[in-house]
Amino acid sequence: MSAIFSSAAEYAAMGFPLIRVAGVRPDGTCSCHLGAACATPGKHPVHRAWQANSTTSEDIIASWFDDENEPNIGLVFGSVSGLIDTEWDGPEAKATAEKYGLLKIPTPTYESSRGGHKLWKYDPRLPVKAVEKIGGLEVRIGGGERGAMKSCNKKGGLRARLE
C-alpha cells in the first residue's frame, strides 16, 4: 500500500473530499499527456471540472489506484470540505504569518517542497474567492467558480500534524 493511498483513505474516512491529481512517474515526469513537458508534474487535477468531481467514496478513490501510473490526490478546500489552507513560500509570507500570530495557533500543520502550511476551519464569512494573497501569504479559501485544492506529494505530503 502506497503512502498516497494511505493518506487518501485517512482523509476520506475523516469526510474530506478528494480529487484525482496527475501522478509522477518514477523518472520524475508527469503522468498526464504532456509528460516531461508538464510544468507542474503531480500537482494538477486530472479532470477539468474537478470541483464537481470530489469524493469521499472509498470505492471511487480505490479505483484511482488500479492502473500503473499511481495518481496523486488533492484535498479540496472551502465549504465542501470545511477547510481552508494558509501557505508561506518565502520570507515575506512567513513574516506575514508571524505578524498575525498564525504560527502560534495550534492547528494541523505540514510542510511542502516550498514552505509551510496550516489548515483552518472554513468560515462562510470569508470572501467568496479561490485564493487570497496577503503580504505574500496565500490563503486557499476555495470559494467561487475556480475553487482551491492542494495536492499531495509522492511521499503523501499532506500528512498534517497538530502543533
Residue 87 φ/ψ, nearest 5 degrees = -135, 135
* pLDDT confidence band for 86 (50 / 70 / 90): very high
**Statement: residue 163 has pLDDT above 50:** no
C-alpha span between 8 and 130 (Å, rounded)? 23
- Closest C-alpha among 72, 51, 163 to residue 118: 163
Which sequence spans correspond to the domains of the chain?
Answer: 3-76
Q: Residue 149 pLDDT more than 60? A: yes
* Inter-CA distances, 73 with 2, 6, 28, 48, 113, Å: 12, 11, 17, 15, 16
Q: Does residue 114 have a pLDDT over 60?
A: yes
- The chain-wide mean pLDDT, for the chain, equals 86
Task: Specify the pLDDT at position 105.
Answer: 94
Which pLDDT does position 158 carry in this prediction?
56
Q: Per-residue DSSP letters for 25-80?
A: -TTS-BSSTTGGG-SSTT-SBSSTTGGGG-B--HHHHHHTTSSSSPPEEEEE-BTT
28-82, pLDDT tens digit by residue? 899 999 999 999 888 899 988 888 889 999 999 999 987 777 888 988 999 988 9
Give the pLDDT of residue 153.
Answer: 57
Tell me the DSSP string of 141-152. ---TTT--EEE-
